[in-house]
Structure 1
Amino acid sequence: MIIPPRYWLLKLIIIGIVGICLYPTSTQALPVFGLRPPTLYKGGIGIELDFKGDQSSASGLSDKNQYFLITGLFYGITTDLTLRANIPVVLERRVGSNSSTGVGDIVLLSKYRFWRHDAIGAQDALTAMVGVKLPTGKTSVTPSLGSGAFDFIMGLVIGRDSRRWTLSADIQSVLKTEGSNNIRVGHQFLANTAFGIRPWLGEYTDPDFIIMTELNWRGQLRSTQSGASLANSGGHRLFVAPGFTLIYRNWGLRGGVQIPIYQELNGNQRSDDYRFSLVAELHL
């Protein structure tokens, strides 16, 4: 996995992640690619830097590579309600010889925890999420930085955090609207499960290391253009995703790689070779 060296924001990524990691301020174990129930405490502010990328390829089509830096800003309205904004910067999106860079589609989210049960050494919770993706990315460049459409996001997640292990499962739907070139990308459905275990247990103030394993399913309906179905669109993908979470007081670092183990795609489409994510998070 080779990351092109010519990013104008690469130094910012490194400085941001290192800065967050050195700030001595508690966050909870989180999967890398799925949802988790915890919400931020009332009045709390969270900052997240997510460096992610992926590569896909297919016979007869140019390879596609893309790398992002997503800045997440979130605020605790109450102990059960958190608001969040994800602001993506596309460091590079390359298809064949064409490449583009710039701001992508911004996502606004709210997460509400409507059930919580505390036990000795464990906490169970059930949380709902709703959000909207805004058409802020340019569609006049090739490849496009956005879809030119509003997307509506819904999700539900249940999970348990205990002294030794953490477990979660979630479902999500992304309902698409028509965007640029009269294209409506197919509605998307997601399901994730994550299991994490602490190899060793320490005190609350000690660094907390969790080994994570996730299963991520992505299903998508066919896209349409001017109402006509597009043959080379839609399908199913299943990933296994090993990863880790490292927590120290109010900051956290987590990362993982999605490895495709099953892909059933309609027509001739690029299949995923890999996806990765490295996230640094700070709660103020």
Structure 2
Amino acid sequence: MVLLAAALLWPHRAPAGPISFNSALTLSSGEFVFREQGVLSQSGDDPSGADRDRRSIASLSVLGYGIDEDISVFAVLPYLDNRLDVTTGGERRTRETSGIGDVRLFGRHVVVRKNWPARAFRLSLFAGIETPTGEDDGSDRFGRLPASVQLGSGSWDPFGGVVATYQTLDFQIDGQLSYQANTEANSFAFGDVARADASFQYRLWPRTFSGGVPNFLYGVLEANLIHQGKNHDHGADDGNSGGLSLFLTPGLQLVGRRWIFEAAVQLPVVQDLNGTALESDYVVRAGFRVNF
């Protein structure tokens, strides 16, 4: 995976890229990338009257490998700490659990590769499966945990999509369309998820190149349009689940020769959810990547 500026000036530099999704770039043949990202998701805008407050902390460990210049494969291992506070029958209850979540395995293949002076374009297809490695039947003293608190879904869920990347020396633009089909387990299925994502990364510093191999600071602005279908529970749709959300995501990336540090905040600007579905307050992402 080579940043265009690096390809022209300093070879083998780690590229800037989206923070909340993936780029169309693949790894070089025989190259690895390790990415660690912490994600804090907070949802507390509850129209149901039950004063629900859900907090999830995820540590996402990603390992990628370049099979050749066009094909890369990835594995994502999540560690989750989920908590839901809810008022039931006048009593405030806390439902929580932590552990390994559902592992995602996928591959990415470059299908269009265009290079011009000081510019480049890539179009890639990706496909994979979310595997049922997380516990999906956890319980506490109140009984079985709600599906939104469980570590896993118990189902095999395929996903795929297309992603494009356009690079110049000063900025990069990425766009992605994806779909995940969530299947049923234990008479329950989460609604399918369709996404449209866009990312713009602009080099803030240094403004001009003065020799050597400098680090780069990028400003990042992303948009995430997410539609989730209604959950399916024991043969019936759950009218209080799913809907449409739009997030705007400002962030920063510090890019070195073989590493990146990054942070972003996803802020909901549109939430057209079904029934009394719990609305998101914010999502915070921070982490690093290392190419080797």
Q: Any residues of structure 2 matched to 1:161-180 within 5 Å, and which? A: 161-180=167-186
Question: C-alpha distance in 1, partners of 2:259/2:282?
Answer: 27
Aligned-residue CA RMSD in angstroms?
1.3
Matched, 1:93 2:82: yes
Q: Which residue in the other structure is 1:120 paired with?
A: 117
Shift in Å, 1:210: 0.9
Matched, 1:236 2:244: yes
Question: C-alpha distance in 1, partners of 2:212/2:78?
Answer: 33
Q: Which residue in the other structure is 1:56 paired with?
A: 43
Shift in Å, 1:29: 1.1
Equivalent residue of 1:271, what SS?
A: coil
Instruction: Select the structure of larger CA radius of gyration.
Output: 2
Q: Any residues of structure 2 matched to 1:240-255 within 5 Å, and which? A: 240-255=248-263
Matched residue type, 1:264:
D
Equivalent residue of 1:217, what SS?
A: strand
Q: Which residue in the other structure is 1:7 paired with?
A: none
Distance 1:269 1:111, change over 3 A: same
Matched, 1:220 2:210: no
Question: C-alpha distance in 1, partners of 2:121/2:269?
Answer: 30
Equivalent residue of 1:176, what SS?
A: coil
Distance 1:204 1:218, change over 3 A: farther
Question: C-alpha distance in 2, partners of 1:46/1:75?
Answer: 7
Structure 1, unaligned runs of 5 or more: 1-24
Q: Which residue in the other structure is 1:20 paired with?
A: none
Shift in Å, 1:119: 1.1
Q: Which residue in the other structure is 1:144 paired with?
A: 150
Matched residue type, 1:221:
G
Matched, 1:66 2:56: yes
Shift in Å, 1:209: 1.2
Question: C-alpha distance in 1, partners of 2:219/2:208?
Answer: 13
Distance 1:204 1:154, change over 3 A: farther
Matched, 1:38 2:25: yes
Shift in Å, 1:201: 3.7
Matched residue type, 2:192:
H
Structure 2, unaligned runs of 5 or more: 1-11, 86-93, 139-144
Asked if structure 2 preserves the Cα contact closer than 8 Å seen for 1:34 and 1:216, the reply is no
Runs of 4+ displaced beyond 3 Å = 201-204
Shift in Å, 1:226: 2.8
TM-score, with normalisation over the residues of structure 2? Answer: 0.86
Equivalent residue of 2:181, what SS?
A: strand
Q: Which residue in the other structure is 1:29 paired with?
A: 16
Shift in Å, 1:204: 6.7
Shift in Å, 1:99: 1.2
Identity of aligned residues (%): 25
Matched residue type, 1:187:
D
